[in-house]
Every structure is written in C-alpha cells, then in structure tokens.
C-alpha cells in the first residue's frame, strides 16, 4: 500500500501507460479504521503505545499522555514494560513506572 509522499515510478517515453480504474487508485490510499481520526504526531504515538500495551479501549488516555508528558519519560516507561516478560498487566506496569519516573524528575 502506498502512502502519501511515496515515490511513484513514471514510465519513459517508449513505454505505454496502463490506466487504472479510480477504485484501484483509491484502494492504495485507504486509511486503517483504527487510525481514522489521527491527524497529529502525538495522536499516532498515543495510539501506537495503546496498541503495544494491549489497551486499545483506553487509547484516549495514551494520546493525552503523549500530548502532555515528556517523550523521554514515556519511552523509558515503554522500554521498561517491553523488558518485563512476565507482566500480568502491561498497562498497569506502564502507569506505575511512569509515576515513578515523574516523581524522580520532581526530586531533581
């Protein structure tokens, strides 16, 4: 599937152009249903974080965190959860670690 900004191969003058139907062209640019309302980078980051943690029902929480929280703190908590193999609840572990990191930042 092509995305906006992808390079399209243009045929040379010797090659014939095969036309495509409008439907085929539009199918190349279909947006995923879950990413329907994503228009900013932090929204995409929040959605990716929610899907990685397996907590899509609370996507708006992760989008808000991505908007107001330092990306470094979020990435540190995210990598902590990735390294935890036997975590019972990845979302709870993520929130716990994020809280600990925020407390550590305030002390310094």
Residue 98 near residue 81, CB atoms below 8 Å: no
**1 within some domain:** no
Within the chain, where are the H helices?
22-28, 41-53, 59-68, 71-83, 90-107
**8 within some domain:** no
Q: Considering the entire predicted model, what is its pTM? A: 0.65
Give 62-95 pLDDT, tens digit per residue. 999 999 999 999 999 999 999 998 989 999 999 9
**12 within some domain:** no
Neighbour-count burial of 61, counting CB atoms closer than 10 A to its CB (0-12 exposed, 13-18 middle, 19+ buried)? middle
| Beta carbons within 8 Å of 60's beta carbon, 6+ residues apart | 46
Tell me the residue range of the domain where 63 lies: 22-107
- Split into its structural domains, the chain has a count of 1
Residue 75 near residue 94, CB atoms below 8 Å: no
**87 within some domain:** yes
Query: Pick the residue with more confidence: 2 or 58?
Result: 58
């Amino acid at each position: 599937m092509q995305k906006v900004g992808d390079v399209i191969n243009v045929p040379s003058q010797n090659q014939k152009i095969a036309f495509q139907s409008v439907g085929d062209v539009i199918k190349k640019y279909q947006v995923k249903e879950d990413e329907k309302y994503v228009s900013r980078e932090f929204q995409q980051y929040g959605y990716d974080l929610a899907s990685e943690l397996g907590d899509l029902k609370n996507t708006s929480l992760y989008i808000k965190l991505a908007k107001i929280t330092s990306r470094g703190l979020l990435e540190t908590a995210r990598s902590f959860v990735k390294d935890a193999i036997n975590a019972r609840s990845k979302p709870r572990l993520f929130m716990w670690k994020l809280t600990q990191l925020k407390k550590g930042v305030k002390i310094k």
